[in-house]
């Protein structure tokens, strides 16, 4: 569960869960509960070990999950967790959550963008950057602000499979490459 490699199977399970949540108008609820379950699993190494242990029966794993989450989460989500256990796919839970969140963001026309700057940016600058990003990407942007002094000046943006690097460090590296040719 600690490795988050997204497989086709994980995407299929995530899409199926998204479709069910959408059908019952519970997308936000399911997203929140999935993220909460993921946090619990990440903070409890013992629970991870139990859920990944093939010598523990599916019935016992379902009993454990029900005792922890049963009355606290949506019934459809509990049934989904049981299905993952029964199909021996619970080890893919992290990547299923990642895929679910990506599908939900796409459905909601949202994009997670990491914005890297050499210093902490003030509110006005962040607002200006956010406005321009939303205009250029034509979607709602969920920014993740990161400070990295090594970029010297400028900004870098990471989203989807793209990196847009306008930093001074990048310009210096490119200049050095061109000079050495």
Q: Which pLDDT tens digit goes with each residue over 36-84?
A: 999 999 999 999 999 999 999 999 999 999 999 988 999 999 999 999 9
Q: What is the pTM of this model?
A: 0.76
Ranges of the chain with pLDDT below 50: 1-3
Fold classification of 8-106 is Peroxidase; domain 1 (1.10.520)
Alpha helix segments (H runs only) across 24-162: 27-43, 45-52, 58-69, 75-86, 93-107, 123-137
The radius of gyration of the chain's CA atoms, rounded to the nearest angstrom, is 21
Q: In this structure, is the dihedral angle defined by the CA atoms of residues 22, 24, 29 and 35, taken in order, positive or negative? A: negative
**Domain boundaries for CATH 1.10.520.20 within the chain:** 8-106
């Amino acid at each position: 569960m600690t490795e988050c490699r997204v497989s086709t199977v994980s995407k299929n399970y995530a899409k199926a869960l998204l479709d069910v949540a959408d059908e019952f108008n519970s997308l936000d609820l399911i997203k929140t509960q999935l993220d909460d379950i993921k946090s619990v699993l990440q903070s409890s190494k013992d629970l991870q070990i139990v859920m990944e242990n093939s010598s523990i029966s599916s019935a016992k794993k379902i009993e454990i999950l029900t005792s922890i989450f049963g009355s606290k989460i949506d019934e459809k989500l509990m049934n989904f967790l049981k299905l993952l256990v029964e199909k021996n796919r619970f080890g893919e839970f992290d990547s299923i959550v990642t895929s679910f969140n990506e599908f939900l963001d796409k459905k909601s026309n949202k994009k997670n963008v990491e914005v890297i700057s050499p210093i902490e940016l003030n509110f006005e600058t962040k607002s200006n950057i956010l406005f321009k990003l939303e205009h250029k990407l034509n979607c709602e942007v969920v920014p993740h602000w990161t400070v990295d002094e090594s970029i010297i000046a400028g900004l870098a943006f990471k989203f989807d499979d793209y990196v847009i690097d306008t930093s001074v460090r990048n310009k210096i590296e490119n200049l050095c490459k061109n000079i050495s040719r």
